[in-house]
Amino acid sequence: MNQGLSSPLSGGQPRYLVLAQALMDDIRSGRYPLDSLLPTEHDLCQQFNVSRHTVREAIRRLSELGLIAKQQGVGSRVKATQVARRYVQASEDIADLHQYVRDVRMEVHSIKDVVVDETLAELLDLKVGQEWLCVSGLRHREGDSEPVALTDAYIARAYRGVAEDLGDGRDPIYSLIERRYNTRVLDVRQDITAVNIGEEDAQLLKVEPGAAGLSIIRRYYGAHAELLEIAISLHPGERFSYSITQHLRWPGHDA
């Protein structure tokens, strides 16, 4: 039985972190098994002799680590017994996108021609009536059973022949376009948005509906600003981080 949190705390850690660690230990030991509910805020305050603010901060920490999911009117439900492994994509230049695809293989589920309607035109900033090839699938990191992303890649009609080269999903589509059509991707524009994952996508990604996610839209441009490909990837927030390094250039200093 937990006897409360002593004060002063060892190592000078905040009380909420000590409480979070204690609850993590209880989850790992099986005291709170998968799909069970943690005690209420009131009960945790009494068990550990801490304030409601401390309990809420500890619960927030467990949620960020992917161990629990808060359900309105129900409580905090255990969804994992180990901290989720998270893929961190580091980006300094376009070569890092190739590294990402080497790390994370795309399992293609569908390939189809689409005509841009008003909804897709607004999402992708395209003209209604244009024709694109859409390649959809889940991305998996080697050895992980849970997907790291759900991706829809839209390929300009002139380059739709690249569908024949998709293979096992380990080569980036933009690289396949370069190889097949003897062209070069010169610029990549990325838009990153925080989203809540909808019910259908949540089922595919194996997360709770409404879970936090990152939507990344990448636009690949060739010579004369020709748009070759648009890729939309939806990542569960608990499994993906994005790290960007930007190098400053100062007058009189070499790169």
What digits encode the pLDDT tens for the residues 194-214? 999 999 999 999 999 999 998
- Nearest-Å Rg of the Cα atoms of the chain is 23
User: How many Cβ atoms sit within 10 Å of the Cβ of residue 92?
Assistant: 11
Mean pLDDT for the chain? 83
Q: Is it the case that residue 88 has pLDDT exceeding 50?
A: no
Asked if the domains 10-78 and 87-244 are classified in one and the same CATH topology, the answer is no
CA quadruple 88, 94, 98, 99: dihedral, nearest 10: -40
% of the chain at pLDDT higher than 90: 52
Could you tell me which residues come within 8 angstroms of residue 126 by beta carbon, excluding any fewer than 6 positions away?
116, 120, 132, 230
What is the identity of the amino acid at 182? N
Q: Per CATH, which fold does 10-78 belong to?
A: Arc Repressor Mutant, subunit A (1.10.10)
Q: Is it the case that residue 106 has pLDDT exceeding 50?
A: yes
The pLDDT value given to residue 198: 94
Q: Once rounded to an integer, what is the mean pLDDT over residues 67-89?
A: 76
Q: How many residues does the chain have?
A: 255
Task: Work out the pLDDT band at 72, boundaries 50, 70, 90.
Answer: confident
What digits encode the pLDDT tens for the residues 225-249? 999 999 999 999 887 766 655 555 5
pTM value is 0.60
What digits encode the pLDDT tens for the residues 122-163? 988 999 999 999 999 999 887 777 898 999 999 999 999 999
What are the residue boundaries of the structural domains of the chain, listed by start? 10-78, 87-244
Angle at which helix 15-29 crosses helix 52-64, to 10 degrees, equals 60
Residue 68 and residue 70: Cα distance in Å, rounded?
Answer: 7
Superfamily of domain 87-244 in CATH is Chorismate lyase-like (3.40.1410.10)
Q: Once rounded to an integer, what is the mean pLDDT over residues 1-15?
A: 50
Residue 224 and residue 222: Cα distance in Å, rounded?
Answer: 6
